[in-house]
Amino acid sequence: MTTNSTGVLADTAAYAAAVEEAKRAAAAYYTAGESPLDDDAYDRLVRGIAAYEEEHPQEVLDASPTGKVAGGAASGDVPHTAPMLSLDNVFSAEQFVTWTASVERRIGRPVAAWSVEPKLDGLAVAARYRQGRLERLITRGDGAAGEDVSHAIGTVLGLPDRLGEPVTLEVRGEILMTDEQFEQANAVRTEHGAAPFANPRNGAAGTLRAKDRPYRVEMTFFAYGALALEDSGDLAATLAELPHGEVLTYVAGLGVHTAADTDVAPRTVTTAEEVLAGVEDIAARRATLPFGIDGIVIKADLAADQRDAGTGTRAPRWAIAYKLPAVEKVTRLLAVEWNVGRTGIIAPRAVLEPVEIDGSTVGYATLHNPADITRRDLRLGDHVMVYKAGDIIPRIEAPVAHLRTGAERPIEFPEACPQCGSEIDMSEQRWRCTRGRDCRLVASVSYAAGRDQLDIEGLGATRVVQLVDAGLVQDFADLFTLEREQLLSLDRMGETSTDNLLAAIEVARTRPLSRVFCALGVRGTGRSMSRRIARHFASMELIVAADAEALQRVDGIGKEKAAAVVSELTELAPLIGKLVAAGVNMTEPGATPPAEPGTETGDGATGGGAQDALPLTGMTVVVTGAMTGVLEPLSRNQMNELIERAGGKSSSSVSKRTSLLVAGEKAGSKRTKAEELGVRTATPEEFAELVEAHLVTASEA
């Protein structure tokens, strides 16, 4: 790098080298969708260049990226209707407040309203419609003219060939790849012998310009504005005066995709404090989004405020990008470790050259499975793009193939189980030790005893190790046959701790079926899916007897998962038999067995027709804030159980599909979004009254 860790350039030579490095990186990205630098490294480089130029204005080089759209690296031959500019950046609340003050000084009054929306991590384009028909697609280029990429029309979701009305206008927005589209694109590319894309942004940039590929991959468009063309008629005057938020509503009504139906929908606020609350809310949702964002865009909403603030050569003075910490960086793949999970799954883990991402140091990343390593053509020594968002385990997107030196080495796959040396079942993409759960018995039993499963207080991993080493436990069903004398014989097990543990095991024996099923650790199912399965079948006997077709009647279970669950339950039959013999509860309180095929009157997800009488039947419920009253003792998992036992479906985010928001103390942004969408809201006390009949079983669970 040409800058030090703070981004400061030491002298003229360092400045010139930094300008050249930025020029090469921008050219590689804007011409081929590739760059030797990740986004954060490029931003730091340009900030260092700008800081040096501010101190030494007489030394500014013509090739400098500052003050130029796309860093001066892009161009085009199709003139834009109006300049298509970049955005300046702020990186903190303090910088944002300073910027708002400068805008208000410029216009001579407070800004009437602000629009707050996600900064989508894609490629800016202009889509020209004439008489409602998509005529041309143009990249941003250098801001004055762009490249014609109309050949991509038909491959971009959210950008219809025809609008809902025969109007003439230009819609501007971002073309990107969603996470799903990125995975599909890389699968198609590797099938055709091409290197996988390093990240979705590069994938969209490269795909949009490609003309002669023997395959097609999809992308998605999100509109962020619109303007009139020269022959737009009365629409020109209308668009020129509409507030920004209403412009987005208008184009959405024509059938163009916007972010309005996402969890980070644009919102209009009136104060800087509300803007910062919106920034915090969008940033908090970043990890759960199915597409990438790298910041939040804040714009003056009213057309009059925008006109009075004016526009510079590179960026408008009435809009700013509040950049978020980078969630992806380029680093090196040093090694691969092979770990065995509680069900015997053999999972590869990447050992990385440590890199700072999103406020934490990342030294490891998930690699999914051997087939994934092969498909991505990963090699030891590769430069790789590593992605991390929120608390999600970092993952490797792909190797940065154009940075390879030839010294990279193939990754060696294990020939026997790394844990116990047994044979490996390689019949599926995820390899598994042939001993299955027996390979990692301690982990399997500890999982079953965990809080979200049987919740056996006093049975931590250390105690499980004792029980396994003493030969008292071969699986978690053996917990229910433990005797007092056996426990007293163990180290550090006195009478009080023994009696407490036995009492906790007795309570676990009465847990509802949903928790018992979750304790089995069936691959592909978790806490929520276990509840749905238990609610649908009502008893373990019916679950075990179900075939793949019957399992597909459970909400969220498709053909592939159903077959996997049936196979796993066959393998678990001896363990389930031991649990039944030990007197463990095998029914779900309040659930009704499903009717025979062809006679069901329920919704197929909650059992038989009797479920239609439940108070939350057909409703999607979101819980937020601190619960009060009789709901105060319930954990969030117990609240979800309560919702599902009352016939509803629990969700973690508010959307148009939400039927009810249970808003406790300090409900925050979810309450705000519910109000914007017109979603019904209930206090904890009101909700408790609604589901009163189901409260006892939920709290006991």
Task: Summarize the confidence of residues 570-582 as an average pLDDT.
Answer: 94
Residue 400 binned pLDDT confidence (cut-offs 50, 70, 90): confident
Partnered with residue 349 across adjacent β-strands are 337, 366
Q: Which residue has the tokens 């036992």?
A: 645
pLDDT of residue 4 exceeding 80, the answer is no
pLDDT (0 to 100) of residue 606: 44
Q: What is the 3-state secondary structure (H, E, C) of 328-354?
A: EEEEEEEEEEEEECCCCEEEEEEEEEE
Task: Summarize the confidence of residues 572-600 as an average pLDDT.
Answer: 84
| Cβ contacts of 57 within 8 Å, gap of 6 or more | none
pLDDT (0 to 100) of residue 67: 67
Cα angle 202-204-207, degrees, rounded to a multiple of 5: 105
Q: Could you tell me if residue 344 is left (phi over 0), alpha (psi between -120 and 50 degrees) or otherwise beta?
A: left
**Amino acid at position 370, single letter:** P
Partnered with residue 332 across adjacent β-strands are 383
Residue 392's CB is within 10 A of a number of other CB atoms, namely 13
Identify the DSSP state of 592: B
CB 612 within 8 A of CB 654: no
State the pTM of this model: 0.59
Q: Domains in the chain, please, with CATH? A: 12-66 (1.10.287), 78-323 (3.30.470.30), 328-425 (2.40.50.140), 435-508 (1.10.150.20), 614-700 (3.40.50.10190)
Residue 604 binned pLDDT confidence (cut-offs 50, 70, 90): very low
Task: Summarize the confidence of residues 649-653 as an average pLDDT.
Answer: 81
pLDDT (0 to 100) of residue 665: 87
Q: What does the pLDDT look like over 333-380, one tens digit per residue? A: 999 999 988 888 899 999 999 988 877 788 999 888 898 898 888 999
pLDDT of residue 662 exceeding 90, the answer is yes
Range in 38-52, 246-260, 480-494, 577-591 with the lowest mean pLDDT? 38-52
- Please indicate whether residue 649 is annotated as part of the active site: no
Residue 337 backbone dihedrals phi, psi, to 5 degrees = -100, 145
Q: Tell me how far apart the alpha carbons of residues 419 and 299 are, in angstroms, rounded to a whole number.
A: 56
Q: Tell me how far apart the alpha carbons of residues 170 and 163 are, in angstroms, rounded to a whole number.
A: 12
Q: Tell me how far apart the alpha carbons of residues 271 and 564 are, in angstroms, rounded to a whole number.
A: 53
Give the strand pairing for 133-139 and 219-228: unpaired
pLDDT (0 to 100) of residue 284: 84
Mean pLDDT of the chain, nearest integer: 87
**Residue 411 tokens, joined:** 């990754």
Give the count of alpha carbons within 13 A of 257, CB side only: 15
pLDDT (0 to 100) of residue 590: 77
Task: Summarize the confidence of residues 137-159 as an average pLDDT.
Answer: 91
Residue 430 binned pLDDT confidence (cut-offs 50, 70, 90): confident
Residue 99 backbone dihedrals phi, psi, to 5 degrees = -65, -45
Give the strand pairing for 145-146 and 156-157: unpaired
Q: What does the pLDDT look like over 299-320, one tens digit per residue? A: 999 999 999 999 988 899 999 9
pLDDT of residue 684 exceeding 50, the answer is yes
Q: Tell me how far apart the alpha carbons of residues 267 and 278 are, in angstroms, rounded to a whole number.
A: 8
Active-site residue, selected from the candidate residues 23, 68, 119, 559: 119
**Amino acid at position 98, single letter:** T
Strand ranges for 325-430 from DSSP E? 328-340, 346-357, 360-366, 379-380, 383-387, 395-399, 409-410, 424-425
